A and B are shown apart, each in its own frame.
Chain A
């Protein structure tokens, strides 16, 4: 294998960053944010609202775009990514200005159901503690549930995929109970578990366990016979065949199971928090709705989008690390 030297010119895949690598578009994007800021500053308001957080947010966007651009002179891939996304950033800034116009500036979209970016940023700043705690609470519940569910799923999957007896007795149970949406168990979970956290963990466990065990079992039993034969002629024991051949062979499947389970878990998490819990983003949304503070609902939804994206990215990093041997095989 070639050793990488600093002088190596990186290879660019033009299919990834295919948009024009034009500085003009990037400059336009920055200027669009400036324009959105100017628009908000000079156009009079129809609704009464504290505009400071929104304006600071726009300023932060302008500054970070400029800083990123400056920094990217050292990191060519980052520069390419920035330029590739310039058109999107440009339109996003204009969309913000339009949203501002339709809400606080003109009242075309009425309150309380359609708050503008000003109300939402204002609420995010005022209620940041509550939102942060809710987001952390949801994240913790998610990870505890997903880890418990995935570990049990992997274990049952291994048992089912490897031992006929386990397959015979457990497979039908998993197949039948797996079609029940986890949220159907909410009434029982609330009644049986001592607090909302443990009942949440239980529901997320249910949501992930079936999917992960199903996929794990599939990956284990799909191990090519030739792999086992090679390993046996090399002196491998049954234990080695299971843990060093069948299980690694199932890892791509296991991750497919975990990623599918993740989206099921997001849904289960939010619903279970809305119904039974006293904390978390789902609870926050429900609580804000109760007081008809829709700006808080939107704020929580945005925070949720960000948190869940981060969670997916974290799982993606773990997956890419464990499946680094696949790099270049699949595309």
Chain B
């Protein structure tokens, strides 16, 4: 395995419910993400997947523990850590190309990188839509724009929080191959949250299974399928079975844990 890019050590993230009880969105989480890997996070809703990604992005701070990127403690959000939300969240007053250009303009490197905008728009097959406004394109197109909007900053890691959940089955498969293409050509580390076991197996090198209340890492599974990602392949089916069993255990045997 290559170098760790993100190191997460003893991280606790706590929210309070309306009674003031502590909810451990994440409890004692330890994991390293390796440079250039495609790693998926899967688990019942509320197990802290979003919380974990937001901590890595720097959008939130943990109550305790440390997160670091290549040895440096993660502080404020930074273009090095791209974040794709479930909703594309394009800015409605900006055209497609202006949305893509935000990172370059915000960082003051627009002039020297202007030509990249067209290249990235080409990559997602949206040429001709440069001057379209977000409401004039479909949800799938908008999500692709959101992805290249983050990619144009050449982030070290791309954090994807269920980016395909709002898309229909056909669009999902299209987008999955786009993500694989991006990962292979740009060698960006991909941290991908999904609800879909098959999607996780089809895309990832490692799958992190999480449980809720408190949010914990239950198991990390290596996917040693290489290029054999056919869904009817025996190994694929076996892996799916293992993950589903883990997930079922995870939801049948919740470990309620409150402290006041």
Contacts and interface: CB of A to CB of B under 8 A. Distances in A.
Contacts of A232: 59, 76-77
Interface string A1-28: 1000000000000000000000000000
A229 B129 contact: no
A229 B77 contact: yes
Given A1-B132, A233-B57, A234-B103, A325 B93 contact: yes
B135 A227 contact: no
Interface in B188-245: none
Interface stretch (A85-93, A172-180, A240-248, A266-274): A240-248
A327 B222 CA distance: 49
A166 to B, nearest CB: 24
Contacts of B92: 325-326, 329
A233 B93 contact: no
Interface string A214-241: 0000000000001101111111110010
A227 B82 CA distance: 14
Interface residues of A, number: 22
B128 interface: yes
B50 to A, nearest CB: 12
A233 B102 contact: no
Contact of B136 (A1, A229, A230): A1
Given A226-B87, A227-B91, A229-B83, A235 B153 contact: yes
Nearest to B83: A233
B175 interface: no
Interface string B61-97: 0000000000000001111011101010101111100
A226 B85 contact: yes
A1 B87 CA distance: 23
Contacts of A249: 93
Contacts of B93: 248-249, 251, 325
Point out which of A229, A230, A328 has the most chain B C-beta atoms below 10 A from its C-beta. Answer: A230
A325 B131 CA distance: 10
Nearest to A230: B89
Nearest to B90: A230
Contact of B78 (A231, A235, A326): A235
B107 interface: yes
Nearest to A327: B133
B260 interface: no
Interface string B115-149: 00000000000001101110110000000000001
Contacts of B78: 233, 235
Contacts of B102: 231, 234, 236, 244
Contacts of A231: 102, 106
B136 A235 contact: no
B8 interface: no
Given A1-B132, A329-B135, A227 B79 contact: no
A60 B120 CA distance: 59
Given A226-B85, A227-B89, A251-B93, A234 B106 contact: yes
21 contacts: A1-B136, A226-B85, A226-B89, A227-B91, A229-B83, A231-B106, A233-B59, A233-B77, A233-B79, A233-B83, A234-B79, A234-B102, A234-B149, A234-B153, A236-B102, A244-B105, A245-B91, A249-B93, A325-B133, A328-B136, A329-B92
Given A240-B106, A245-B91, 20 more contacts: A1-B128, A1-B129, A1-B136, A227-B91, A229-B77, A230-B83, A230-B85, A231-B106, A233-B82, A234-B79, A234-B103, A234-B150, A236-B102, A240-B105, A244-B102, A244-B105, A248-B91, A249-B93, A325-B95, A329-B92
Give 9 nearest A-B pairs by CB, closest first.
Answer: A235-B79, A233-B83, A236-B106, A232-B77, A234-B103, A235-B107, A325-B93, A233-B77, A325-B133
